[in-house]
Amino acid sequence: MPLGRIVFFVAAALLAAAFVLPMLYAVLSSLKPIEEITKVPLQWLPENLDSLRPNNYTEPLARYKFGGYIANSIFVGGLVTLSSLIFCTMAGYSLSKFSYFGRDAFFMVVLMTLMIPLEVTFIPMLIIVRKLEMMNSYWGLIIPVMIAPFGVFWMRQFIMTIPNDYAEAARIDGLNEFQIFGRIIFPMCKPALGALGILTFMSNWNSLIWPLIVARNRDLWTIPVGLISFQSEYFKPLNFIFAMAVVSVLPTIFLFALVRRRLLEGIGMVGIKG
């Protein structure tokens, strides 16, 4: 085997270990008592089977209302993802298939917003949410992030690859623009929609700062905010934190495994047409 391939495989193995080992340690630590987690030197495996603590998973779900945090994350993430798929596709369709004054200028504005760090927008968004009296509500968690500039860009690039002949034939048959969008364009965007859907859901699932700002009520907390609540100034229940961190990762892993093929198809099919 050539030396270059050996170096490549060794580097790939080290990179994979850098990602896998922390997750493996988190899974193993989620079953330990806190005394074994804090033991020095570092101990990977539980000392014996009797020391396993499955209640590290059950106790936070009941005692710290972590089941409610999971439900909130699914509800908020699901609505944000659904709205993003619909509105970003509509915007992408408009920017790619229609000619009107200011279209290109508006698209340039969309591209420029991609360069702005999300944290910079939090203060203006917070002021608007407070003025609209949406603080401490599901509306405040959902509405400000319903449409992302990346989603508009993503869908516009994909829809540009769809030939105009489909829409022209539909117009000849008497369909209006909403019917063309709903019956022809939207179904043809499935690969891009699948990729955008999983990227949007995972981004919203892992979001911490915005839910932490808006949701003052504990009943509105999402998973990242719930994990932060486990830590106090004088005590950190590491066994619960590891267990709930594992639980919080499982839905995204399941979702990725379920639609990974569509994700790769969507990434491969989205072009760079200008």
* Tens-place pLDDT, residues 200-235: 998 899 888 899 889 888 889 998 888 887 766 446
Comparing CA positions, the residue from 158, 141, 147 lying closest to residue 87 is 147
pLDDT category, 89, cuts 50, 70, 90? very high
Percent of the chain surpassing pLDDT 70:
91
pLDDT at 152: 92
Largest CA distance in the chain: 75
Distances (CA, A) of 143 to 83, 155, 204: 9, 20, 12
pLDDT category, 76, cuts 50, 70, 90? very high
pLDDT category, 81, cuts 50, 70, 90? very high
pLDDT category, 273, cuts 50, 70, 90? very low
User: In sequence order, which residues have a C-beta less than 8 Å from that of residue 248 and are 6 or more positions away?
Assistant: 70, 73, 205, 223, 224, 227
C-beta neighbour count of 205 within 10 angstroms: 22
pLDDT at 248: 85
The second-level CATH assignment, the architecture, of 56-269 is Orthogonal Bundle (1.10)
User: Mean pLDDT, to the nearest integer, of 172-186?
Assistant: 87
Which of 81-85, 169-173, 245-249, 266-270 is the least confident region? 266-270
Q: pLDDT, tens digit, for every residue of 234-255?
A: 466 788 888 888 888 888 888 7
Please give the Cα distance from 135 to 223 (Å, whole number).
19
> Across the chain, what does the average pLDDT equal?
84
Higher pLDDT, 93 or 49: 93
Q: pLDDT, tens digit, for every residue of 16-34?
A: 888 888 888 888 888 888 8
